[in-house]
Amino acid sequence: MDPITFSIIRHRLYRVIDEAVITLKHVSGSAITNEGHDLMVSLYRADGSLLMGGVGFLHHLTSAAEACKSIIRRFEGRIDEGDVFLTNCPYTAALHTSDVYLVAPIHYDGKLVAWSACFVHVYDIGAMVPGGFSPDSRDIFTEGFSSPGLKLVEQGEMNHDIMDTLLNMVRAPEMVALDLSSMIASNNVARERMVALVHKYGPEAVDQACQMLVDQSEESFRERLRELPDGRWESRQYFDIEDETYRVLLAMTKKDDTLTFDFTGSSEQSKYGINCAYWAAWGGFFAPLFPLLCYDITWNDGVLRPISMIAPEGTIVNCTRPAPISLATVGAIQSVNNAACICISKMLSASEKYAKEATAVWHGSHFAIFMFGQNQKGQEAIGIMTETFGGAGGGRSFADGVDVGGEIPNPIGRMANVETTENHFPVRYLFRRATIDSGGPGKYRGGTGLEYAIQQHDSPDGGIHYVVSGKGTKFSMSDGLGGGYPGAPCNYRWVHNNEAAAEGKNVNPFATSTEQMTGEQESVSWGVYPLMDQDVLYVRSDGGGGYGDPLAREPERLARDVRHGSVSAGVARRVYGVVLDAAGEVDTAASEAAREAIRAARLSQAAAE
């Protein structure tokens, strides 16, 4: 095939996905899809293997391939033009029940030539708790509707029996119908554009280009691996739930042009829904691998071929049915993301050519707050606070982590503005801002996380409920790199202003910090809680990991950090050894003396920092 035709077809495939994503967003009505971009659209070969990875949450690229393959097996001989299939079973392919896959065969002249697949986190899935994150579930049977495969659309006609049954099992069925419709529309657009592509260039030429694309990715990726040194790198993630501590252990071995991810030693599966199944762990390390190692390589099955995984059965990275799994995405999957990010970055750091691609961990906790209840318009409001997509960036060899900068697994993730959230939920923000001293110190510091506080406002029920379901508050999950400190842990507090008011204390309705709040502050990290009347929910996300020795940070950067409220003067002096004068300028002599004192203390093994 001539290279120009190949390039045109390759770019057309990208554009097919772009247009399908736009369609999905235009039809879906939920904030998690439109504001947070908790979505994914990709294209697959006729055998279900990944052809062209799209945007959105990257750990879905490979899991949706398994969804296509499972549908091919289940519906062998019954896959027709115009069909759309649904699966959301985590033990088949999906990450958790809320992330529903709709996959559609693409036919040309009666022959299956490709698949399109997409997902959104649907508005509700009928779990114990509205929205799908179900911390009280102790098995998958209470985590909502789950199917290993359904034919939702048959030869272009909606199967209303199935659709109506689904909508009968969920809250806010009109919103779930919109979510499912958005995915049907997305698949329709992908199919139409793919058929047009095949019609223009012919099925043989398109098939040849697709095969070349996959082979090209494999060849390019293996070449990149050969450029990197052989070795074995370790990482470890901790998290806590209700006084139980969990570990995700990873040893990544690179040999010649292959990589092995070995999770041996990770904790046994939990009674809480933070477990993930095999294909979720598989997708979990591809989420950082694609952008860190394959930023200039097409994300497809060719990248998967040099990779193997060891994930012992019965552990939190390969749990067995019916273990609960509804929080996998912010649970074990995110820990796999983080562990892989560090191992890959340590490997990159061992290469002169690729060291600049390394990064400390971004957004390690993926803290998540779900809200549910009647809103000020009398509607059933269910959804995630999209700050969960506003993670803190990790430091790199040439730059600080981006403050409230997003996350690696979702390059297009974003969070809603305050007004959008206040319009959807009966709440008002007391404040939302970057958190001082939250970024992990380093030559290049981690990005700052954020903190916000909300109160109910104009709720017909006097308040709303929220679900806290991250991975605890005791551990830092955004590891540093090359000596950089980990970012600060999360923090969630229920401020009991109602009790304070009942005791006759003044409650400041316009508090702009937790210090100005009168009520007792109770730490919470797991479960469902009320947000009633004058009570406040305070949330602080984790900071990004730092890169390199904090003593190597240019003093002028600290002066700027302190001016901007990213680092306090105390931490600048104590951790970075930079002293500022009354005007906020660097006191060079005092800073040199402070750094010398820290170095001396290091060598005497005193904990001067």
Partner 1 sequence: MSARISASLVVNDSGEIACMSCGHALGPSGQPWKNAATLSETPLQGAAGEPYSNAANVLLRKFYCPSCATLLDSESALEEDPFLNDVVHI
What does the binding site for partner 1 look like in residue numbers (CB under 8 A)?
229-236, 238, 245, 247, 346, 349-352, 355, 358, 397, 435-438, 440-441, 449, 473-476, 479-486, 488-489, 491, 523, 540, 543, 547-552, 567-568, 570-571, 575, 598-600, 602-603, 605-607, 609
Residue 250 CB, shortest distance to partner 1, in Å, is 10
Phi first, then psi: give them for residue 156, nearest 5 degrees: 90, -5
Sign of the four-CA dihedral 42, 43, 49, 51: negative
Return the number of the residue (328 or 342) whose C-beta is nearest partner 1: 342
Return the number of the residue (199 or 232) whose C-beta is nearest partner 1: 232
Sign of the four-CA dihedral 496, 502, 505, 510: positive
Return the number of the residue (90 or 472) whose C-beta is nearest partner 1: 472
Return the number of the residue (114 or 562) whose C-beta is nearest partner 1: 562
Answer whether 24's CB lies under 8 Å from 120's CB: yes
Residue 524 CB, shortest distance to partner 1, in Å, is 12
Residue 526 CB, shortest distance to partner 1, in Å, is 14
Residue 312 CB, shortest distance to partner 1, in Å, is 18
Return the number of the residue (132 or 441) whose C-beta is nearest partner 1: 441
Residue 399 CB, shortest distance to partner 1, in Å, is 14
> Residue 298, exposed/middle/buried by CB under 10 A (0-12, 13-18, 19+)?
buried
Return the number of the residue (309 or 436) whose C-beta is nearest partner 1: 436
Return the number of the residue (28 or 435) whose C-beta is nearest partner 1: 435
How does DSSP assign 247-294, residue by residue?
EEEEEEEEETTEEEEE-TTPPBPPSSTT---HHHHHHHHHHHHHHHH-
Give the separation between CA 90 and CA 273, rounded to whole angstroms: 12
Residue 254 CB, shortest distance to partner 1, in Å, is 9
Cβ neighbours, 10 Å, residue 225 = 19
Return the number of the residue (461 or 596) whose C-beta is nearest partner 1: 596
Return the number of the residue (381 or 481) whose C-beta is nearest partner 1: 481
Return the number of the residue (426 or 449) whose C-beta is nearest partner 1: 449
Answer whether 457's CB lies under 8 Å from 375's CB: no
Greatest CA span in the chain, whole angstroms? Answer: 81
Answer whether 221's CB lies under 8 Å from 66's CB: no
CA–CA–CA angle 234, 239, 244 (5° rounding): 125
* 3-27 vs 173-201: helix crossing angle, rounded to 10: 160
Residue 607 CB, shortest distance to partner 1, in Å, is 4
Say whether 533 sits in a helix, a strand or coil: coil
DSSP for residue 229 = P
Which pairing describes strands 463-469 and 99-108: parallel, antiparallel, or unpaired?
unpaired
Give the separation between CA 286 and CA 288, rounded to whole angstroms: 6
Sign of the four-CA dihedral 263, 266, 270, 272: negative
Sign of the four-CA dihedral 227, 229, 230, 236: negative
Residue 510 CB, shortest distance to partner 1, in Å, is 22
Q: How far is CA 525 from the centre of its chain?
A: 19
Give the separation between CA 304 and CA 25, rounded to whole angstroms: 29
Return the number of the residue (38 or 437) whose C-beta is nearest partner 1: 437
Identify which of 541, 520, 145, 511 has the alpha carbon closest to the alpha carbon of residue 369. 541
From residue 208, how far is each of 211, 249, 455 by CA, in Å? 5, 41, 58
Return the number of the residue (56 or 546) whose C-beta is nearest partner 1: 546
Phi first, then psi: give them for residue 435, nearest 5 degrees: -95, 120
DSSP for residue 127 = -
Residue 63 CB, shortest distance to partner 1, in Å, is 28
Give the separation between CA 493 and CA 341, rounded to whole angstroms: 30
Residue 402 CB, shortest distance to partner 1, in Å, is 18
Cβ neighbours, 10 Å, residue 427 = 26
Residue 317 CB, shortest distance to partner 1, in Å, is 18
Residue 451 CB, shortest distance to partner 1, in Å, is 9
Residue 479 CB, shortest distance to partner 1, in Å, is 7
Give the separation between CA 107 and CA 79, rounded to whole angstroms: 10
Residue 497 CB, shortest distance to partner 1, in Å, is 21
Return the number of the residue (144 or 391) whose C-beta is nearest partner 1: 391
